[in-house]
């Protein structure tokens, strides 16, 4: 609260956040959040759950107001890509040049195996101010709400805030795969990568519970 922009965010957003969480039967003093982003649809979902329940409810959907790169994972520094995969919040920056920002833990273990090991890049943020090279920008107004929710979740004991990033919604993988083959060609390596992502997508989509994500020696994600 010593950071002026955070104090403003709390003043503007926290009363309404508390009202909405209460209406959702979520304990405002003990809740968790989950963030899920879709690059093609340019939207960021924020889900919430009480600490006593593993099942998440959709709290809000925020438009991603600028984008860079193309569908596919980030594999090297300077490629302009927004990462795809399974991450968590690793940085809270109340003094960001982009209003406030939340950093994700790119590169993760999978990225280190599959990406350019000598130049992976980093500093991938969810932030305000609608400009980006590989980050996920929301408007200043929307990042205020997301930031306050993340701070409160962390303060109530959530040690890891998961962030899952996808090229698009991957429901009905067989239909999605067919469209991707038609668009990018059957030999495009991204399709097998996206098929792997769809397993984690389906786990949450079907249960609204966060999967335990691990990475195998070949960089593939596994879920349980």
Three-state SS annotation for 149-217: HHHHHHHCCCCCCEEEEECCCCCCHHHHHHHHHHHHCCCCHHHHHHHHHHHHHHHHHHHCCCCCEEECC
Q: How far is CA 118 from the centre of its chain?
A: 25
Instruction: Indicate which residues carry an active-site annotation.
Output: 127, 135
211 within 8 A of 223, measured Cβ to Cβ: yes
34 within 8 A of 210, measured Cβ to Cβ: yes
């Amino acid at each position: 609260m010593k950071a002026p922009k955070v104090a403003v965010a709390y003043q503007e957003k926290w009363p309404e956040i508390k009202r909405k969480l209460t209406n959702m039967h979520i304990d405002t003093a003990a809740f968790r959040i989950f963030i899920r982003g879709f690059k093609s649809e340019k939207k960021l979902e924020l889900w919430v759950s009480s600490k006593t329940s593993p099942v998440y409810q959709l709290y809000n959907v925020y438009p991603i107001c600028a984008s860079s790169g193309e569908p596919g994972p980030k594999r090297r520094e300077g490629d302009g890509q927004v990462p795809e995969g399974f991450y968590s919040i690793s940085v809270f920056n109340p003094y960001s040049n982009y209003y406030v920002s939340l950093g994700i833990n790119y590169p993760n273990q999978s990225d280190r195996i599959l990406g350019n090991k000598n130049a992976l890049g980093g500093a991938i943020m969810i932030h305000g101010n609608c400009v980006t090279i590989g980050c996920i920008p929301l408007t200043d107004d929307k990042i205020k709400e997301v930031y306050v929710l993340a701070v409160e979740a962390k303060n109530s004991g959530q040690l890891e805030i998961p962030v899952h990033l996808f090229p698009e919604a991957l429901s009905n993988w067989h239909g999605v795969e067919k469209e991707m083959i038609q668009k990018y060609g059957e030999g495009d390596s991204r399709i097998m990568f996206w098929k792997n992502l769809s397993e984690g997508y389906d786990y949450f989509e079907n249960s609204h519970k966060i999967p335990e994500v691990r990475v195998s020696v070949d960089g593939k994600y596994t879920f349980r």
